[in-house]
Amino acid sequence: MKRIVVLILMVAMLCPLFAGCNKATVEGDKSTTQKTVKVIDSRGKEVEVNYPAQKIVCLLNSALNDLYMLGAKDQVIAIDQWTYDTTEVYYFTAQIDERVKNKTLPAIDRNIEDIVAMNPDVVVIWADQAEDIKVLEDNGIKVVGIQVDNFEDVYTKLDILGKISGTEERAAEIVTYTRKQLKSVTDIISGINESKKLSSLFVWGPSKFDLAGNNSTGDSIIEKAGGKNAADSLREEHFVANIEDVESWNPDTMLMWYLPELTPQNYYDDAQWAGIKAIQNKKVFELPHPFYCDLWTVKYMYSIQFLAKSLYPDEFTTIDLETTKNDMLTFLYGIDFK
């Protein structure tokens, strides 16, 4: 019995010594355990980040919006220049973040030296910026690469950002809300006979012929809005067609990303498009705003509601788009925008 007691005491004395090996000193003689989290980014790479990340450099606007929706605004220490330069987006973002309004939140796109000097916990960047990512990682910076090719990628991105910012519960809440909103659309669309569904092309711009193939968010939004992609035989995310292609497809409708330099009227006024059904029937619909119609965040739900109602107005008489938009923005950002 005495031996057992002695062994217990020895283990009790040794445990703190072994535990100390896993602690990191942060100041003076105080110490704390630095938690980390591992995520798989869009490159398929496992990245281990301090948890929750307190210093996030976010170089893509869609991820910045995710972090705002997640309530992690104060964890963002630098952003992309596009957010400042795009007037329509800046107008709303300035209402979310006083630092953006006052232009005190640094925009440091591809300024590697400035990024390294900030010593961030993580940099969130487009996954295809391979050279920039390599330089950052060679300098010891943790990088999460993001790619969004479809709406499932939107949820994956939100999940990753929720994990690194410590806001997993809020991320799950947002996904639940989004899926519920989309179900209200799919429930109606499911009642439309397949033979009655309209064919469509999705226009990325900047030209009239810059279109979406079947491996793209453009294709996804056509499908979710109850249409059929007339160009679904092409796998390109973004391709340039010609008028002969369009004539062979002869779509019932055309859906457009928000393009200030290209509007439905440009199609209606162009003689070479006059024989296309969508033009003849004035069925070209443009998403009204790049902020609340953002296809790279869960706000794509409003784009689908807008386009579904545009395609099938008689089936969606109960949806008030202005109320739907305002309710969505209030839920996601917790503020009433002007």
- Average pLDDT of the segment spanning 238-264: 97
Question: Which is higher by pLDDT, 154 or 109?
Answer: 154
Domain with CATH 3.40.50.1980 in the chain: 33-167, 174-333
Question: What's the mean pLDDT when you consider all of the chain?
Answer: 90
> What's the pLDDT score for residue 32?
60
> What's the pLDDT score for residue 24?
29
Instruction: Tell me the per-residue pLDDT of 294-317, one tens digit each, with 9 for 90 and over.
Output: 999 999 999 999 999 999 999 999
- Given a cut of 90, whether residue 137 has pLDDT beyond it is yes
- Given a cut of 90, whether residue 16 has pLDDT beyond it is no
- The CATH H-level superfamily of 33-167 is Nitrogenase molybdenum iron protein domain (3.40.50.1980)
What CATH architecture does domain 174-333 belong to?
3-Layer(aba) Sandwich (3.40)
Instruction: Tell me the per-residue pLDDT of 70-107, one tens digit each, with 9 for 90 and over.
Output: 999 999 999 999 999 999 999 999 999 999 999 999 99
Beta-strand pair 46-50/36-40: antiparallel
> What's the pLDDT score for residue 10?
39
- Given a cut of 70, whether residue 29 has pLDDT beyond it is no
> What's the pLDDT score for residue 2?
35
Q: How far apart are CA 333 and CA 170, in angstroms?
A: 12
- Average pLDDT of the segment spanning 260-283: 97
> What's the pLDDT score for residue 111?
86
- Average pLDDT of the segment spanning 175-195: 96
- Average pLDDT of the segment spanning 60-72: 98
